[in-house]
Structure 1
Amino acid sequence: MVRNLIFCLALISVVACGSKPRVQIEEGGIQLKPTLQHEVIAKEVVNLLENYSYKKVQASDSLSNIVFDNLLKAVDRGRTYLLQTDLDNFHQYRNIISQDMKGGDLSAAFYIFNVYTQRYLSCIEYALTQVDVDHDFSLDESYTNFREKLPWFANEEELKDQWRKRVKFDLLSLRLASSDQKASEEKNKETLRKRYNNLLSQAKKTNSNDAFQLIMSAYTDAIDPHTTYYNPSFAQAFNEGMSNTLEGIGARLQMENEMVTIKEIIAGGPAFKDKTLKIDDRIIGVAQGDGEFEDIIGWRLDAAVAKIKGPKGTVVRLKILPAGQDIAAQPVIVSLTRDKIVIEEESAKKAVKTVKGEDGKTYRIGVITLPKFYIDFEAYRKRDPNYKSTTRDIRLILDTLNQEKVDAIVLDLRNNGGGSLQEAIELTGLFIDQGPVVQVRNVDNRVEIEKDKDKGAKWTGPFAVIINRFSASASEIFAGAIQDYGRGIVLGSTTYGKGTVQSAVDMSRFISPTNRLLLKAAGGQDTDVPIGAPQFGQINITMGKFYRITGSSTQHKGVSADISFPSQYTAEKFGESSEPAALPWDQIDSAPFQPLADLNAAKKTLKNLHEARMQKSPEYKYLLEDIQEFNKSDSIPQATLHESKLKEERDANKLKNRERVNKVLALHGLPLWKEGEPQPKMDFDFILDESLRVVADFIPMNRPIEMALLKN
C-alpha cells in the first residue's frame, strides 16, 4: 500500500511539474486557472479529433490561428471591452494555442479569458459611476452598440467614452419609455444601478468551468461547426433536450435578487402534484434526502439547479420563502420525490384546419408541428416500452387524424434544427413503404444505406412538408426523402444545409484508470457535477456525412422547396455556408430506390396557382416589404443620443409599425390597434396559410401516390 501511495504521489508530481505552463496565472481577483481535470480532458479531446473524427485536423500554427480568432469572438465579438493593446499582448499566443492544448496546457487561453473578465468588470464598474452624471441630451452624439466591424479601442479613454455613451443611451431609452419623465428620473437611475449591479454579481460568479467550456468551444469550432465539447452541466442539458424529458421536481427557476425563484410549475411533475409550491416562491436551501441543508442564497442558478434536480425516485427537501414574504420570515420545508417529466411544449402537436381549394371544395387538413427530432435514448436502451420519441408520438397523432377523417396532412418542420438520425429514418417510414431513406458515409469512407424496414405506411393520403432556413440535419433527411420518393410536396424556403452526422460520446470512456487515480489523489476532480450528469462531460463528434438517396449531399445546398417562398435569411449569413470550418459539398452514387410518383406536372400546376394568388395577395406584398427592410442595410447601426431626435425616430417607427399591424388586422376583419392600447397579439401565419391552400389544390392530384402505397 505504501509503495502504491509513493507511486501515485510520484505520478502526481510528474503531472504537476512535468511541463511548465506557458503563462503563470497570478493569484487574487478573478484569475481563473484550469483544473487538472480540465487539462486531462483537453488532451483527450484533441487526441480524439486528431485521430477519430470525420475531419482529422492536427494541432498546428494554422489551426491555432483559427482557435485564437474563435476565442476572441467568443469573449468580445462586439469589441466592447478589450483594447488594441490587449490584442497586441495576446498576439504571442496566436500560433501556439492548439499545440498547447494537445499537451494539456490551457494557461494561454485562460490568460486571455481572465484579461477579458477584468476588462468586463472594469467597464460595468465605470458604467455605475456614470449613472448619476448630469448627461446633456441635447448634444449631437451617437452610440454604436455592436462594433464588430470597427477597430479595437486604441486606449482606455476611448473605451470609457463608449461606456459613457452606453449609460447615456440606457438612461435616454428609459426616459423615453416613461410617461412622466421628471417624476421617474431617479427611478430610471435606480433601474440602471440594479441592472449593472446584477451584471457585476453574475460576472463575479464566473468559474473555471465557464472558461473551460468557452475555450473548448473555440477549439472544436475550428475543426467543424457541429463538433462540440459539453461540460457536465451542458451535457446533461443537451441530453434532456434530445429526450424531451428531464428528471427533477418539475419547476422552471430564475435568479431574482440573489435567490432562486420559481417562475413556472410544469403540469404533471412532482411540484404540480404536491401543490405546496407556488409561483414566485423562493428556494433558499436544499437537502438531499435526510441530509443537511445547504444555503443556496447568492449561488449561481446552474449550481443551485444541479442540487435541486436529480434521478427519478430520489428525495429532495427544499427550504422555501413563500412569495411576498420578507427574507426574515420563517421558511417552509417541502419534501418532494423527483420524477421524470415530459417537456410537452417541445413535443409534436396537431391541429386541424379547414381550407377552401381552387376547385371550390372545402378540405380538412391536419397540421403536425414538430420542433425537433427527439428520443429518450436512455429509456430506449433500457427497453422501456413507454419510451418517448418523435415517431411514437406522431404515430399516435396519425391515428387520431385518421379517425377525424382529414383530407391531407402537413408536417411543419420550420425552425426544426434536427436531432436523432434514427428518428428521421423511422418517421419517414410512417409515410412510405419499405426502402432506403438516407446514405451515411463514415470516417472509414464506407457508405451505409439506412432503410425503413417496416412494411406499409401509416398515412397514405396527400402529404406535404414545410421547411425554412432553420430546418436542419434530421429535418433535411426527412424532407429530402419525401421529395426524392415523390411522396409529397415540399413548401417553404431552402434549408440550413447541415449534412453531417454526430455521435454523442461520454468522455469518461477516454479517461484512463491512471488518470482517474491521479485526479482523485490530487483532488482534481470536478465536485460541482450535477447529479446524473457525465462526470467528464461529453463530446458530440462528427463521425460521418449523410447523403440523399439520390447521392447528393445536403451540405451547404440544403433541401430546396418545390413551392418556394421568399426569405430574408441567406445561406451566406444564416446557413452552413456561413461557417468557415464547414465540410464541403460532394456527391456519391445513388441508392437503389423506386419513386412512388412523378410529381413534376403537379408541382408545375401548383406553382402556377400559387403564383397567381401571390400576385393579388396583400400579405405577400407585406412579406416582401419586410424582407427588403431586413436586408436594406449592412452598415454599422448607430443610435442618436439627442433626445428630441431619438424621440422623433421612435415615434415614426411606432407609427409605421401601427400602420402595418392595422393593415393586417383589417385584412382579417379584426378591430384596429388604437394609440395608447397594448399591441394586439399577432397569431397570423401567412406561410402556413398559403401552404395549406397549396395542399388543398394538391389533394385531387394525389391519387397515383395513394394507389402506389396501397398496392404495396
Structure 2
Amino acid sequence: MKKRFLAVIPCIALSFLFVTPVFSEQSKAPISPEDYYITLAPLPEFKQTCVSIIANLKRHHYQELTLNDELSSRIFDNYIDSLDKGRAYFTAADIAAMQRYRYILDNALAQGNLQPAFDIFNLYQHRTVERFAFMANFLSSKVDTLDFTRDETLLRDREESPWFSDKKALDDLWRRRLKNELITRRLSETDTDKVEENLLKKYTNSLNRSRQMKSRDVHRIFINTFTELYDPHTQYLPPRASEDFNIHMSLSLEGIGALLQMDNEYTKVVSLVKAGPAEKSNLLKPGDRIIGVGQENEEIVDVVGWRLDDVVQLIRGPKGTVVRLRIIPADSADSAMSKVIPITRNTVKLEDQAASSKILDIPLADGGTHRIGVVTIPAFYADFNAHQAGAPDYKSTTRDVRRLLEKLKKENIDGLVIDLRDNGGGALTEAAALTGLFIDKGPTVLVRGRRNRVESYPDPEPGIIYDGPMAVLVNRMSASASEIFAGAIKDYRRGLIVGTQTFGKGTVQSLLNLNRDNGQLKLTIAKFYRVSGASTQHRGVHPDVAFPSEYNLEETGESSLPEALPWDTIRPIRYKPYHQASFTPIVTRIKELHDKRSDASAEFTFLKGYNAYVETLRQKDRIALNEKVRKEEKEANETFFLGLENDLRVAQGEKPYKDYEAMTAARKAENEEKNDSEDEEEDDDDTLLEECAYVVSDFARLLEK
C-alpha cells in the first residue's frame, strides 16, 4: 500500500540559498517593446470557415444558442478571459476602449468578419510584449533593488479582481511576480547561481516567440472562445490540430500518453491514457502543470505562456527517447514545489489496455477466507475493424471480461470487484454490453439527442454471466463509459459503487469535416442518462461507500470546466432492480463496517491527513514575498510530510526516514527502479483496492443472512 501513497507526496526543493544577482556588470541597452510589436489580419479563407462552423453548430449541436447581442457579450468576456485570465496585461482603460466590440461580435461572426477579434488580439500582443520587456529590463538592470526581507504578498488568483488602473500599477504587479519567480526558483532549482540568468533567458525567449504568432493562431483562439460557450468539449480543430486529434484517437502517437489543455499561462494535464508511458511512470498526474520541457540531458526550456500545440510538439519525439518535464504537482499549493520528472516516450498499444484479473484473499472473523475476484478495466475498447471484417477472435472489453469471469468462477470466487479507476471511457456499445454481463435483461443507458429524442441501449444478450455480490471501484478520473456502467449497476442495485465521485462527463461528441480542408469541428450532439433518468453529466456517479480522494474534486472533473452542460433528469425507463427490499439496510451496515476499518487503518489515516493538510495550503489566497517566510513555510511543509510518512512507516513495521532528504531520495530510487523494471505487473500494495475487497466480502456475508 505504501508505494501507492508515497507517490502523492509533493517534491519540495532540497536546497535553499540566498543568491546575489549575477548581473553586476554594466547594464545593457534597455529592450524597446516597439521592436517586437506585430499587427495581424484575418485571411480571406477565414470567412468561409467561420460561416461553416456557425451553420454546423446551429444544425447539429445538442444545445441551441441564438447568435444575438447577449451571446456577443458572453463571447467578448470569454475572449478577454482567454487572453488575460489573470488580468495582468490589460489595464482598465484598455478594457473600456474595447467595449465598443462587446455587442457587435455576433453580427461580425455571422458575416465571417473577424477584424474585431484581430483588433483585440493585436492590442493584447502589444501589452504582452510590454510586460516581457519590462521583466527583461528589470532583470538586466534593477534586480538588485528587490527587497526580499519586505513583508509583501502576491494574490494567487486575480481572475475576479478589478483591472489595474494604469501602467504604474501593472509594473508593481509584475515586480511582485518577479520576486515570486526568483524566490520560487531559488527554492526549487539546484543551480541557484543561474536563477536570474535563466529568468532573463525566459523573458527574452518570450519576446522572440511573441513575434511568431500567426493569423491562424488568432483565428483558432477566437473561434474556440465562441465554441466553448456551447460546452467545453465543442472545439474547432484547424488542419494541424485536426491531424493531432486523429493521431491521438488512433493511439499511434509516440509521446507520453497525456491529454493537455491550457490553464491560464500553464499547460495542465487533464488526463492520462491508461497504460501509456506517463501513467506507467507514476510520476505525472491529472492536474499537474507543465512549466518546462527538455530532451534527454539537454537544458529544460521554460514553456509558461507557450501555445499548447508548441508544447505538445516539444513533448513528442521518437519511441524510446526520454523527455524531461518540470512540473508543479496538482497537490502543491506552492510553485516552489516544482520537480523534474523523466518519461520515456512510447506508443500506446491496444493490448496494454486489455482487461486483467486476479484474486484477493480476505480473512473472515471465523478463521475462514473469502476469495474476491478483481477485474481491472483500463478502457472500454473494441477492434471495430476486425469485428466488421468478421474476425471470430476480435478484441473487445466485453469479450475479454466474459472470459475472465468464466475463469474466476472456476476459481470459486465469493465476490467480485470491477476496478474502473482512471478509466476515461471509450466505446458506448461496450459499456452497454458489459452491463449485460451482470443483468439478465433490460435497458442499460439512455441517450438524448437534439429535440429531446431519446434512444435506449438494451442489454444485447439475455442471461447473466456473473450473479454474485459485486462492487465497482471508481475515482474522479472514471469517466464517460465508466460512468454509464457504474450508473447502471447502481440503478439496478446489482452491486455497490465504491470510491469517490466520478468525473461527470455525460455527453457524446461527433467530428465533422469542414469544407476545403479547413479542419474539423468537434461538437456535442447528445447526453447520456442512467435508466433511472438521472444524467451522469456534471455530477457523475456518487459512491455508496466513499473513500478519500486521490484527486482534488474541485479542480478536476466536468464540474471544474467552464460552460459545462448542467445535470438534469428525464423520464426513467422501466427496469427491474435487484435486492429491492434488503439493499438499503445492507448498504448502511456495510458503511458502518467500512468506517470502523478505515478509522483504524494507518493507510487511510495517511491519506485523510494528507488531503486535509493540502486543502489548508490551498485555502491561502496570497503568496508571501519575504524570502525568510517562504523558507520557513517550505521547512514546515517538509516537516509535516516527513512526519506523516514516518507515522505510516512505523505503523507498517518499517524504519522511519531520518530526514526529508532521505525520504525524497528513497522515493526517487523507487521510481527509477520501477521504470527500469520490465515487470509491468501492478503493485500488490493497493489499500483502496484491498478495502474495496473487504466491502465486497461484507456484502457477500450480509446477503447470506
Q: TM-score, normalised by structure 2?
A: 0.72
> Whole-Å Cα distance in 2 between the matches of residues 347 and 428 of structure 1?
17
Once the two structures are superposed, the pairs formed by residues 463-612 of structure 1 within 5 Å of their partners are 463-502=470-509, 504-508=510-514, 511=515, 516=516, 535-565=517-547, 576=558, 581-598=563-580, 599-612=583-596
Counterparts of residues 50-449 of structure 1 (less than 5 Å): 50-132=58-140, 133-134=143-144, 135-177=146-188, 185-200=192-207, 202-243=209-250, 245-246=251-252, 280=296, 300=310, 342=349, 348=355, 350=357, 352-357=359-364, 360-375=367-382, 389-395=396-402, 397-398=404-405, 401=408, 406-449=413-456
Distance 1:125 1:381, change over 3 A: farther
CA change 1:247–1:587 in 2 (3 A) is closer
CA contact (8 A) 1:352 1:365 kept: yes
SS of residue in 1 equivalent to 2:451: coil
CA contact (8 A) 1:79 1:146 kept: no
The alignment partner of 1:545 has SS state of strand
User: 1:450 is matched with which residue?
Assistant: 457
SS, match of residue 246 in structure 1: coil
Is the 1:481–1:548 contact (alpha carbons within 8 Å) kept by the matching residues of 2? yes
CA distance in 2, matches of 1:399, 1:128: 66
3-state SS, counterpart of residue 452 of structure 2: coil
1:47 aligns with 2:55: yes
Q: Mark the CA change 1:700 to 1:226 in structure 2 (over 3 Å): closer, same or farther.
A: same
Distance 1:303 1:618 in 2: 43
Residue identity matched to 2:652: H
Work out the CA distance in 2 between the residues paired with 1:369 and 1:42: 44
Q: Specify the code of the residue in structure 2 equivalent to 1:540.
A: K
- How many angstroms apart in 1 are the aligned matches of 2:232 and 2:585? 39
The normalised TM-score by structure 1 is 0.71
For residues 648 and 482 of structure 1, the distance between their equivalents in structure 2, rounded to whole angstroms, comes to 50
- Structure 1 residue 59: Cα displacement: 0.5
CA 1:187 to 1:72, structure 2 compared with 1: closer, same or farther past 3 Å?
A: same
Closer, same or farther: CA 674–193 of 1 in aligned 2, 3 Å: farther
- Give deviations 1:499-549, integer Å, cap 9, x for gaps: 3333x12224xx2xxxx4xxxxxxxxxxxxxxxxxx433333222232221
Q: CA deviation at 1:570?
A: 8.9
Q: Distance between the aligned counterparts of 1:233 and 1:382, measured in 2? A: 31
8 Å contact kept, 2:37–2:129: no
Task: Report the secondary structure of 2:228's partner residue.
Answer: helix
- CA change 1:360–1:605 in 2 (3 A) is farther
Distance 1:224 1:358, change over 3 A: farther
Distance across 1 between alignment mates of 2:88 and 2:404: 49
Structure 2 gap segments, 5+ residues each: 1-33, 261-274, 278-294, 299-308, 322-345, 671-682
What SS class does the counterpart of residue 444 from structure 1 fall into? helix
Deviation at 1:61, TM superposition (A): 0.9
Q: Percent same amino acid among aligned pairs?
A: 37
CA contact (8 A) 1:619 1:664 kept: yes
User: Is residue 143–residue 641 contact of structure 1 (8 Å, CA) maintained in 2?
Assistant: yes
Given that residues 407 and 462 in structure 1 are in contact (C-alpha distance below 8 angstroms), is that contact kept between their aligned partners in structure 2? yes
**What is the CA–CA distance in structure 2 between the aligned matches of 1:202 and 1:362, rounded to whole Å?**
64
1:641 matches 2:652: no
| Deviation of the 1:584 alpha carbon | 4.5
Aligned to 2:652: 668
- Measured after TM superposition, the shift of residue 490 of structure 1 is 0.7
Q: 1:447 to 1:158 in 2, by over 3 A?
A: same
Preserved CA contact (<8 Å) 1:142 1:641: yes
Change (3 A) 1:609 1:67: same
Instruction: Report whether the alignment pairs 1:690 with 2:691.
Output: yes
SS at match of 1:57: coil
Cα 1:550/1:300, change in 2 over 3 Å: closer
Distance 1:156 1:347, change over 3 A: farther
Q: CA deviation at 1:629?
A: 4.0
Conserved in 1, the CA contact under 8 Å of 2:361 and 2:372?
Answer: yes
Which one of the candidate residues 643, 651, 671 is aligned to 1:659? 643
Between structure 1 and structure 2, the one with the greater Rg is: 1
* Preserved CA contact (<8 Å) 2:36 2:129: no
Distance 1:626-1:300 versus aligned 2 partners, 3 A rule: closer
Q: Match of 1:79, SS?
A: coil
* Partner deviation per Cα, 1:126-185 (whole Å, 9 max, x = no partner): 322333421332222323343213222222222222222222222223333467xxxx55
1:621 CA drift (Å)? 4.4
Q: Secondary structure at the match of 1:222?
A: coil
Aligned partners of 1:544, 1:500: CA distance in 2, in Å?
A: 6
1:205-236 CA-partner distances (Å, limit 9, x unpaired): 44334333332221122123333333334344
Cα RMSD after superposing both structures = 4.2
Q: Is the 8 A contact 2:37 2:211 kept in 1?
A: no
Instruction: Please tell me the residue identity of whatever aligns with 1:650.
Output: K
Distance in 2, matches of 1:81 and 1:609, equals: 55
Q: What SS class does the counterpart of residue 252 from structure 2 fall into?
A: strand
> 1:355-402 CA deviation, whole Å, 9 max, x = no partner?
334554334434444454345666666767776654455445546655
Change beyond 3 A, Cα 1:402–1:123: farther
Query: 2: distance between equivalents of 1:386 and 1:304?
Result: 39
For residues 401 and 686 of structure 1, the distance between their equivalents in structure 2, rounded to whole angstroms, comes to: 22
